[in-house]
Chains A and B, each alone.
Chain A
């Protein structure tokens, strides 16, 4: 009976062979009209999925069973590590995360093979063929440079343990969510490339790309939000976004994906801007691939350090060049043949949606430029410089503020031609409320211009949502609130919910950035200090034993208006196997504020410790907003017209 790691390795090799077939046969079949070759796509995609699942489960089993003869397990796990983290360690390393990438890609391919039965055979064949090409690239990369099943002989008695920062529930959920999103954009990409190959860019292409893009976008939104939240409570310094290259690597596809969703609406509804939408679909996935390169090649310095290796970087770069370069060459060649759709005025819903695109694309481009700029300057021998939060924050806020303003107008504007006077009349109350709220609310604490900007924009978004909803309900043909609510399509609710989520996040970002307070200080037992209107008293110190670590725990009592409301217990943990030390912050979360206490270092022979105490108003709203965004996305893609029954009826009617 061959051991599990060997089974896993063998599955991967077989998966590669299947992927090569999946890439070659359907595409050749589609260009030559060979029906059997095209039909093979579906079976090959599902077969590849099963093989990759086997490989993935094999690796997970090796971790669960503490098989230290597998190098990856020895490097990233330990027998004292709790089971859930041993399993999460499957994707806790570079090799494991590439396997996760491949698993997600295979999953999406299988999903496409199941949910596209109503589409023409050549379309499905081409889409799966393109996804097959991407799978081939990743599988070759993995088997040649990053095989997770490489052996370590002789096997050590125990492993190095998982990086302390990763021993956390966040590790269990964040990468899978993120990759589902990241990799999910490959479907929109494949649809776009398939359309270019087949010279078929009709309204149905946009119609069927949209739900796939929405689902991927929803997952990516969750993944990024989880990453931000996780980094918030694990890193120990209370930050939630640092414009670190790895964060940017996930944010750029998100920005492009958001632009893509909006652009697909225009293309689907009015047949306009097809070439641009195709380009965006290619761009979103290209940014995902680019991000994968940036974080594993060692060209940029990042907190999120994967074990970086320039040799791997070269392989990824070549692969990237082939896929992205190939699709862009195809675009340059075929895009000019695309017939454009109905025209529209300078002020219309189309133009507003496309303005949104201009701004989001500019934002994505700026983030990309800022991220790779140090590299460009270095390559040109002009020195070393850093591009960090001050740059990104200024640029991003400047570009996105107009976009937020447009978000209020877009859903209200008419297709083809909207009249400005009419818009002004409909929106004047929303505008008044937002400006007044933005100007006066900050006075409650301390007036700051950026807080006014943020609050004005979020009130604007919420107000316009409410006004539009009310006006649509009023003009509905049926009677009764519930009936009227039913007349509006899920698409509409999804959109408003997602926009609402954006407003909530902006409130959180604005208020926490404007009004947070922090103190770094030394405290002896019994001493206390005030931060943000609360009093923190250092009460005691104790030793704690965890499953694979020892910790020093401080007891801090929190008082508000003289009464004790909380006991917070920050820790400093020392992990046995790796010797890593981790500061485990104590966080008291609430709807209107988080209290954040980190234990630092002992001084004066351990009688006094350094603490960092922070008061973060409304920080939870940042992630709550993301949850609404994701729910909005999910709602939008559950719209009835995407259900197979409705679509086959539509096809019969067409």
Chain B
């Protein structure tokens, strides 16, 4: 336990990179706290969240990219830990639906406009 505290103190009071902090923050905002009722890893105060943030920070210092860290976490906890659903067959519907809804809606609107009975001259005719 004491080694952890030392670690925290060292990391936070050392001249550690402000941009590293920012990077950890931005990545952990996209990840889910597994034990909470819907909070991000950045905001949660749960033990596991603190541990995972520390792990993320450590991996970033070792030069891992955001994607590599996400792979590390999903290998252990599954896709549930990602707040941005990965783009895979199971989520095609999720990712394509918004665009389809918009296009479909405009298509339907245009069709209805075109097939209206006109009681006056149309534009150009």
Contact = CB atoms under 8 A, between A and B. Distances in A.
A362 interface: yes
A198 B20 CA distance: 66
A358 B109 contact: yes
Contact of B101 (A361, A382, A518, A610): A361
A365 B101 contact: yes
Contacts, number: 132
Interface in A341-396: 342-346, 351, 354-355, 357-359, 361-362, 365-366, 369-370, 373, 377, 382-391, 395
B5 A244 contact: no
A387 B97 contact: no
Contacts of A303: 36-39
Nearest to B81: A386
B94 A391 contact: yes
Interface stretch (A37-45, A325-333, A519-527, A535-543): A519-527
A398 interface: yes
Contact of B97 (A305, A365, A377, A398): A365
B97 A600 contact: no
B109 A302 contact: no
B3 interface: no
Contact of A344 (B5, B21, B42, B113): B113
A546 B94 CA distance: 48
Nearest to A398: B98
A302 B117 contact: no
B21 A519 contact: yes
Given A303-B39, A365-B101, A388-B40, A603 B8 contact: yes
A415 to B, nearest CB: 13
Contact of A522 (B12, B42, B94, B123): B12
Q: Top 6 A-B pairs ranked by shortest CB distance? A: A388-B83, A358-B105, A390-B84, A362-B101, A343-B116, A237-B43
Q: Chain B, interface size: which category?
A: 35 or more
Given A391-B85, A522-B13, A346 B118 contact: no
Interface in B25-69: 25, 29-30, 32, 36-40, 42-43, 45
Contacts of B101: 361-362, 365-366
A417 interface: yes
Contact of B94 (A344, A373, A398, A600): A373
Interface in A456-503: none
B45 A388 contact: no
B94 A369 contact: yes
Contact of B37 (A301, A344, A354): A301
A358 B106 contact: yes
A365 B119 CA distance: 35
B109 to A, nearest CB: 6
Interface centre among B39, B84, B122 (most CB of A within 10 A): B84
B102 to A, nearest CB: 5
A365 B98 CA distance: 8
A387 B94 contact: yes
A584 to B, nearest CB: 14
A333 to B, nearest CB: 21
A387 B80 CA distance: 9
Interface residues of A, number: 55
B51 to A, nearest CB: 15
Given A358-B102, A398-B98, A386 B80 contact: yes
A239 interface: yes
Contact of B83 (A239, A365, A386): A386
B71 interface: no
A370 B42 CA distance: 21
Given A242-B38, A366-B98, A604 B83 contact: no
A383 B90 contact: yes
A604 B10 CA distance: 12
B30 to A, nearest CB: 5
A354 B107 CA distance: 12
Given A386-B82, A388-B83, A399-B102, A302 B37 contact: yes
B15 interface: no
B98 A395 contact: yes
A302 B38 CA distance: 5
B75 interface: no
Given A358-B102, A365-B101, A391-B84, A386 B32 contact: yes
Nearest to A603: B5
Given A301-B38, A303-B38, A522-B8, A390 B94 contact: no
A388 B29 CA distance: 10
A388 B84 contact: yes
B90 to A, nearest CB: 5
A521 B13 CA distance: 7
A359 B102 contact: yes
Given A346-B110, A365-B97, A377 B90 contact: yes
21 contacts: A237-B42, A340-B116, A345-B113, A351-B113, A365-B101, A366-B98, A369-B93, A370-B94, A383-B78, A384-B79, A385-B78, A385-B79, A385-B90, A386-B79, A386-B83, A390-B30, A391-B94, A519-B21, A520-B12, A522-B9, A604-B9
A617 B79 CA distance: 34
Contacts of A340: 116
B23 to A, nearest CB: 13
Contacts of A601: 45
Interface in A577-609: 600-601, 603-604, 608
A244 B38 contact: yes
Nearest to A393: B84
Contacts of B83: 386-391
B85 A386 contact: yes
Interface string A550-587: 00000000000000000000000000000000000000
Nearest to B80: A384
B70 to A, nearest CB: 12
Interface centre among A244, A302, A395, A417 (most CB of B within 10 A): A395
A235 B38 CA distance: 13
